[in-house]
Structure 1
């Protein structure tokens, strides 16, 4: 029967999670490559690489805001679909998916208009200088044309993964990433378009990813079908999507806020050089976070399905498995970055000044990085089980309550290193507090039930 397809209530929980995690980690890696590949190529533009890299770094908060809205409707709707499927309510799941899709389109159009009107003022606010503003403006002006494609590609891919089609989800971003990797050097170097070429390649790639996502979700192989009749907004679904999706939204928005504060502080204490270094560090972090985040995302449809089916012991089993697995992988990555920092920096820049100053900054920033596994696991459990309040708290606590204030305060006493140490402190306090809170508010209730 179609309702038994990708049924997570039977079979090994670890195997279900691993089967989803492998393709999802690869898919997320490929998705990160959209922006990271841009930075690798931009870091090799003759004569202006450092300034161009700094300009691109100024765009990251705006890109994070766009991704935040993809999270709002993708991470808000997909877990609700998993829970509905677990309850055998496929019609309701399709209505949730249709409502999420139309919300992505509406907000994609609104975002494009608003950010385009105010982008230059925002870039100055984010720490731009006379040397970097032109690069930031050029990149963002073109990138914004693909806002709707970004939201559809990222947001709707969550619904492919939530049905258990992780390999299709991986293929969605693989197609776009390959095109981006091919087009980047052609547009940046061969046609001499520089940062404009990087943005143009990204927009074309995102359009193709969005097209493929819609193609699959309207085709014959999907369990839940995207249909026009389900795209008329219903208050009960919109409210639930916003409520649960706020966690993923706040996670991206708080990342944006912290990046803005970091860039402004770095401009004051270190100038354009340190904004370029932070852009590289953020790029390394995006890639290093993938295994832990991939495991966390992969567990959500499995936990949500079993929670909907009333299989609470299996949910607890999944929580323990994803915690230990994520922690092991993050620990290995932290050691690698700590021992070989220069190797990672040289992927993005051959500038000796960036390498010399970036090495110590990278070690400070990543200190205790393995503790992020607890943050990821705790938040994934809250989102997967539809616990909106806990998920939102976990998203806001580490970035807004810990990182942002410390980023402003510490440099007064210890100089520019305070910006990087702020992140390290948050890894321990934020990760530990998030997981302990999750276990006492959600884990204990699961044991009782």
Structure 2
């Protein structure tokens, strides 16, 4: 493999560079999404449809804690990309060391109370009735592995910030493949049920962390763990926090959304509606993988060139990323509008779920062709270190617009109102993001045409 340098982010053609960054990110996200998708299919077919709902209850809690790692990773990686672009390797190393310390401190401090108050947390997130017991089994075991997952999510973003997307892809492939193999062995062969599903997930996080540690200890990385400063430095922590808060807030909103949706849908349609939402949620993770890949590939390119003062390349990266992501979003839209029934049958043969899920899926993905502007626009402000607009734009879809809509629309349309809240929120968020992105480009990037 040819040696890849972070300096390539400032030299290679934007289109070629975006593909080079986005394809490995997309493959990694695809495999991770397939892992979640197939894991859900295994659980639904080998354990039962209620087990799908049980995992859906656990995800927002475990992913929120793990998202601390992602938040610290993305916040710190924005600093690292700009530091490498400005030839300030010392700051990059210090930031990396502080990321490791913060991730460990915060995740462990949240896992402990998460285990203590398990019997209160699960019902609060919709784990009621027949869902409670399998959700509790899965929750306790998976929470043991959450610090490992958080370190993986943090390390993965740093690898990408170095301009090493292939290694970031490998870091996503290893736990995904490992989880599926362990699912088959522990659930299908040994018949361990929810215990098998949970231990397969936790073990896969450990495999991922082992690979990431190898990367940073090897000659492949510019940021050596042995050279990092693990002692927290307040200016670095504050900058990581301000930028990482954007990602953490997004995941917090996602977790709140799961909590609200599980409870609202349980009250409207019982376990069947919660299961339908779980299936639709898996498709949201899976179907958007190429668009998220473009977004992940875009982040280090925009951050590096902004740090280097090359605003022409920043503008070009925005335009190119939106074009690529919009084209892929259109293909995703067509696929989901045509095949929702077949997709649902992969998960379950439960007739009630088969009746409810396909129309819900069509409503949820109605605005998919336009979401590229919203995702790239929010990512841009995070990449260049502008935390407040990044925070606001990131929270638009699932926080500022979506949460009020799932309370208002069901008053008039019942359960249908819950599903149509998705495209309405997407449309409103895209309009607002397009305005702020256009304003930013006009005022701050076009005003520096010579750079």
Residue 389 of structure 2 corresponds to: 390
Q: TM-score, normalised by structure 2?
A: 0.96
- Checking the alignment, whether the CA contact within 8 Å between 1:127 and 1:267 is kept in structure 2 is yes
1:443 CA displacement: 4.8
Residue 14 of structure 1 corresponds to: 15
1:442 CA displacement: 4.7
- Checking the alignment, whether the CA contact within 8 Å between 1:323 and 1:374 is kept in structure 2 is yes
1:202 CA displacement: 0.8
Residue 31 of structure 2 corresponds to: 30
1:332 CA displacement: 0.9
Residue 207 of structure 2 corresponds to: 208
Residue 431 of structure 1 corresponds to: 430
How many angstroms apart in 1 are the aligned matches of 2:57 and 2:166?
33
CA deviation profile, 1:380-439 (whole Å, cap 9, x unmatched): 111111111111001222222211111112112111111111111011111221232122
1:6 CA displacement: 4.0
1:369 CA displacement: 1.6
Change (3 A) 1:114 1:442: farther
- Checking the alignment, whether the CA contact within 8 Å between 1:266 and 1:275 is kept in structure 2 is yes
Name the Cα RMSD after superposition: 1.5
- Checking the alignment, whether the CA contact within 8 Å between 1:98 and 1:227 is kept in structure 2 is no
Change (3 A) 1:313 1:196: same
Map 1:218-229 to 2 at 5 A. Answer: 218-227=217-226, 229=228
Residue 145 of structure 1 corresponds to: 144
1:228 CA displacement: 5.9
How many angstroms apart in 2 are the aligned matches of 1:443 and 1:293?
25
How many angstroms apart in 1 are the aligned matches of 2:105 and 2:130?
35
Residue 254 of structure 1 corresponds to: 253
Q: Which moved more, 1:295-304 or 1:35-44?
A: 35-44
1:196 CA displacement: 1.5
Residue 239 of structure 1 corresponds to: 238
CA deviation profile, 1:227-272 (whole Å, cap 9, x unmatched): 3641111001000000011111111111111111111100110000
1:51 CA displacement: 1.2
Q: TM-score, normalised by structure 1?
A: 0.96
How many angstroms apart in 2 are the aligned matches of 1:244 and 1:45?
42
1:97 CA displacement: 0.8
Gapped regions of structure 1 (runs ≥ 5): none
Gapped regions of structure 2 (runs ≥ 5): none
Residue 171 of structure 2 corresponds to: 172
Q: Which moved more, 1:80-89 or 1:25-34?
A: 25-34
How many angstroms apart in 1 are the aligned matches of 2:26 and 2:282?
16
How many angstroms apart in 2 are the aligned matches of 1:331 and 1:161?
26
How many angstroms apart in 1 are the aligned matches of 2:31 and 2:176?
6
- Checking the alignment, whether the CA contact within 8 Å between 1:3 and 1:88 is kept in structure 2 is no
1:351 CA displacement: 2.0
Q: Name the SS for the 2:232 alignment partner.
A: coil
How many angstroms apart in 1 are the aligned matches of 2:213 and 2:154?
11
Residue 305 of structure 1 corresponds to: 304
CA deviation profile, 1:19-69 (whole Å, cap 9, x unmatched): 0100011111222344333211111025xx121111111112113312321
Change (3 A) 1:78 1:229: closer
- Checking the alignment, whether the CA contact within 8 Å between 1:64 and 1:253 is kept in structure 2 is no
- Checking the alignment, whether the CA contact within 8 Å between 2:186 and 2:200 is kept in structure 1 is yes
Residue 334 of structure 2 corresponds to: 335
Q: Name the SS for the 1:350 alignment partner.
A: coil
Residue 44 of structure 1 corresponds to: 45
1:5 CA displacement: 5.0
